[in-house]
Every structure is written in structure tokens, then in C-alpha cells.
């Protein structure tokens, strides 16, 4: 007998008593959102507050200002090199003079990225209630290691279309087959006396640009 058959057999034997008991439907009486899902301005403010609360640096700008804001933020950190995921909109880095772009064609290694100053990505969506941005490897987001190895991650969120209120409203918009990274603030640890320390292995600085029309 294989272990598969053994385990499945043990499960069926263990559940022998449950066959005759009628099953209740799953109670899903919880809320689909705790924030007003139909108020885009309030949601954006909430996302802003919650991202800030977990030590992300949050900025706002309009679509037209985006290239110059990206250039300013990279310059403010003194970034000389920036990893560029496939599908990042062409215009985003046009104003970043003096920053060497490293477009990812699948060949950027972790060792190479370890020496890169910043990465600029878009996102799949953002969750206001929890202060979370979600990357799913779609256009402008790149392979997972791009937003992981460099020490500075600059992420662009388009409002209102990419902002959802809650986790229950986020999941139906995401594809379970795609590799996803949910990011809520920069990496952190509470392992020493349960004191929260920001910045361990992931990017120690997370900047989020909230872009409105």
C-alpha cells in the first residue's frame, strides 16, 4: 500500500462517525468591507493612512506629474541604478536623468540585483483597510525577485481603479494561478522582545506613489 492510500484510508476510518450528521451551510455573516467601498476619496485616504502606519513612505501626484515625481524620489535617495520590470510604462522613467535603468529580460540575477539601488513597479491592486499592495507578476510588476532584492522599492498605485476596500473585495480580482506577493509596509520583525523593528531581508524602504488623474 502506498502512503497516499494509507493516509486517505486513515482519514476515512477516522471520519466514520460523521456520515449521518447533517451538515450546516457555511456561515458567512461577516462584512465584505469595513470601509465605505463606494467612496473612492475616502478609500484613498484610508490606504494612505494605513500604509503610513506601517512605515511605508507615501506620496501623491497626478498622472502628468508621475515621471518627475519618480525622478525626484530616486534622486532624493541617491539611486544610481534602477531595476525595470518588463511592461513598465515607457514614460515613467523618462525624467530620471542620471539613473541607469536595468530592464529585466529574465536575465537579471539575484546577485546583480543585490547591487542595484532601487526598483520601480506598478501593482495589481491595493487594499485600503489593511494598507496592502499586491503584486502578481503582471505587466510593470516583474518577476518576484525584482521587488525583493533591491533595498528600495518604489511602487505606483493608480487610484481609484486599483484601490479596493478590503481583503474580501480583493481576492475575486486576483488570479490564484499567478505568483503573488502581498506587501504591507517594509519588512519587519518582532522577534526581539516583541519590539517591532523595520527592515530585515526585504527592501528596507517601501515608497508608494498614489496616482490620481
Partner 1 sequence: MSDTFLGMPAFPQAAARAVRDRQLRANLRHATHTIRDKRARAVAELPDWAELRSAGKAIKDHTLRHLDRYLVQLEEAVTAAGGTVHWAADAEEANRIVAGLVHATGTTEVVKVKSMATQEIGLNEALAAEGVTAYETDLAELIVQLGEDRPSHILVPAIHRNRAEIREIFADRMASWGRPAPEGLTDSPAELAEAARLHLREKFLRAEVAVSGANFMVAETGTLVVVESEGNGRMCLTLPRTLISVVGIEKVVPTWRDLEVFLQLLPRSSTAERMNPYTSLWAGTTRGDGPSEFHLVLLDNGRTAALADQVGRQALRCIRCSACLNVCPVYERAGGHAYGSVYPGPIGAVLTPQLRGTASPVDASLPYASSLCGACYEVCPVAIDIPEVLVHLRERVAEQGGHPVERAAVAAAGYVLDHPAALAAAERLAGRTRALHPRRLPGPGRAWTDSRDLPEVPAEPFRDWWRRNRT
Q: Closer CB to partner 1, residue 40 or residue 182?
A: 182
* Binding string, residues 35-74; x marks residues near partner 1 by CB under 8 A: ---------------x---x--------------------
Give the C-alpha distances (Å, rounded to integers) separating 100 from 9, 37, 93, 153, 202: 60, 40, 10, 16, 22
CB 157 within 8 A of CB 208: yes
Q: Closer CB to partner 1, residue 75 or residue 144?
A: 144
Q: Is 22 in the site for partner 1 (CB under 8 A)?
A: no
Instruction: By CB under 8 A, name the one of 52, 77, 143, 205 that touches partner 1.
Output: 143
Query: Which of these ranges, 22-30, 59-67, 68-76, 117-125, lies near partner 1 under the rule CB under 8 A?
Result: 22-30
Q: Which is nearest to 55 in space by CA: 204, 209, 211?
A: 204
* Binding string, residues 166-195; x marks residues near partner 1 by CB under 8 A: -xx--xx---xxxxxxxxxxxxxxxxxxxx
Instruction: By CB under 8 A, name the one of 20, 30, 90, 98 that touches partner 1.
Output: 30
CA distance 136 to 194: 31
Exposure on the CB side of residue 46, measured as CA atoms within 13 A:
22
Q: Closer CB to partner 1, residue 75 or residue 86?
A: 86
CB 87 within 8 A of CB 93: no
CB 209 within 8 A of CB 73: yes
Give the C-alpha distances (Å, rounded to integers) separating 50 from 45, 93, 137, 147, 148: 9, 27, 24, 20, 21
CA distance 6 to 14: 12
Binders in 109-138 for partner 1, by CB under 8 A: 110-111, 114, 127, 129-132, 137
Q: Closer CB to partner 1, residue 60 or residue 143?
A: 143
Q: Is 34 in the site for partner 1 (CB under 8 A)?
A: yes
The vertex-133 CA angle with 128 and 51, nearest 5°, equals 55
CB of 61 to partner 1, least distance (A): 25
Residues that bind partner 1 (CB under 8 A): 2-4, 6-8, 10-15, 17-18, 23-24, 26-31, 34, 50, 54, 106, 110-111, 114, 127, 129-132, 137, 143-145, 148, 167-168, 171-172, 176-195, 197, 199-203
Amino acid at each position: 500500500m502506498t502512503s497516499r492510500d494509507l493516509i486517505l484510508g486513515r482519514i476515512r476510518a477516522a471520519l466514520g462517525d460523521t456520515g449521518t450528521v447533517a451538515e450546516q451551510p457555511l456561515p458567512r455573516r461577516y462584512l465584505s468591507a469595513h470601509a465605505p467601498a463606494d467612496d473612492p476619496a475616502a478609500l484613498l485616504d484610508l490606504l494612505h493612512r494605513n500604509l503610513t502606519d506601517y512605515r511605508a513612505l507615501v506620496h501623491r501626484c497626478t498622472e502628468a506629474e508621475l515621471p518627475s515625481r519618480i525622478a525626484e524620489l530616486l534622486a532624493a535617495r541617491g539611486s544610481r541604478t534602477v531595476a525595470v520590470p518588463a511592461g513598465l510604462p515607457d514614460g515613467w522613467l523618462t525624467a530620471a536623468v542620471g539613473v541607469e535603468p536595468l530592464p529585466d529580460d529574465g536575465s537579471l540575477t539575484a546577485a546583480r540585483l543585490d547591487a542595484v539601488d532601487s526598483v520601480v513597479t506598478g501593482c495589481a491592486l491595493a487594499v485600503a483597510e489593511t494598507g496592502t499592495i499586491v503584486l502578481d507578476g503582471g505587466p510593470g510588476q516583474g518577476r518576484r525577485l525584482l521587488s525583493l532584492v533591491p533595498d528600495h522599492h518604489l511602487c505606483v498605485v493608480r487610484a481609484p481603479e486599483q484601490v479596493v476596500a478590503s481583503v474580501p473585495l480583493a481576492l475575486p480580482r486576483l488570479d490564484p494561478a499567478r505568483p503573488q506577493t502581498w506587501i504591507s509596509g517594509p519588512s519587519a520583525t518582532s522577534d526581539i522582545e516583541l519590539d517591532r523593528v523595520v527592515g530585515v531581508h526585504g527592501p528596507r524602504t517601501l515608497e508608494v506613489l498614489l496616482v490620481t488623474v
